[in-house]
Structure 1
Amino acid sequence: MRALAAAAIGLTAALALVLTVSAIGGPSGETSPEPLLTTVPEHP
């Protein structure tokens, strides 16, 4: 029974954290228009 109570408390805390972050909103910023390079460019 203690394990069930601990799981319920943990789930409630995780849900509260998710709701808090979603209410506050993500960090504001802009994405870069430049594409990310996945390979090292070759130098001639």
Structure 2
Amino acid sequence: MRALIAAAIGLAVALALVLTISAIGAPSGHTSPKPLLTTVPGPTK
């Protein structure tokens, strides 16, 4: 029974955290116009 109560409390805390983060909204900012390099550039010709 204690495990069920602990699981319910943990679920309620997780749900409250998700709702709080979604209520605050995404942080404002901008993205870089330059693309990210995922590989090492080849030699220049």
Calculate the TM-score normalised by the size of structure 2: 0.83
Return 5+ residue gaps in structure 2 as ranges: none
The structure 1 segments of at least 4 consecutive aligned residues displaced by more than 4 Å after TM superposition are none
Q: Any residues of structure 2 matched to 1:1-44 within 5 Å, and which?
A: 1-42=1-42, 44=44
Identity %: 77
CA RMSD, Structure 1 to Structure 2 (Å): 1.1
Return 5+ residue gaps in structure 1 as ranges: none
Calculate the TM-score normalised by the size of structure 1: 0.85
